[in-house]
Structure 1
Amino acid sequence: MAHNCENCNFRAHYDKKPNSFLGKFWRWHINYCPGWKGYFTSQSEEKKAELRAKYNFTKY
């Protein structure tokens, strides 16, 4: 299954303005999004570490 997480508009908004409402919403959303889970778990361990650090993500 292809994931569009690399091109997600909400993710881009978070990257630009993480403290905005949409940025905070996206960050909360990735804890529950099945698309993000599929995207995240399909990445290499190096990429996962990068994403964990960038988004303070520890769920998977």
Structure 2
Amino acid sequence: MEQKCSNCSLRAKYDKNPKSFMGKFWRWHINFCPGWKAYFQSLAPEEQEMLRTKYHFKKYK
């Protein structure tokens, strides 16, 4: 199953403006989204670390 998280429109809104309502919603959403979890855990450790830093993400260590 292909994960769409890498080109998610909500994620793009966060990248463009993290303080926007939709940006904040996406950031909150990834804390429990099963699709994000599967996508994140499918990445190489280096990519995971990059996303952890970029999105201040601390889950799934």
Task: Note the 1:1-60 alignment, pairs <5 A.
Answer: 1-60=1-60
Give the Cα–Cα distance (whole angstroms) in 1 for the partners of residues 2 and 38 of structure 2: 9
Match of 1:19, SS state, is coil
> TM-score normalised to the size of structure 2?
0.96
Runs of 4+ residues over 4 Å off in structure 1:
none
Q: What percentage of aligned pairs have identical amino acids?
A: 62
Deviations 1:7-56 (A, max 9, x none): 10000000000000000000000001000000000000000000000000
How far residue 2 of structure 1 moved from its aligned partner, in angstroms, is: 1.1
Gaps of 5+ in 1: none
Aligned length: 60
Match of 2:57, SS state, is coil
Give the Cα–Cα distance (whole angstroms) in 2 for the partners of residues 59 and 28 of structure 1: 12
> TM-score normalised to the size of structure 1?
0.97
Give the Cα–Cα distance (whole angstroms) in 1 for the partners of residues 23 and 42 of structure 2: 23
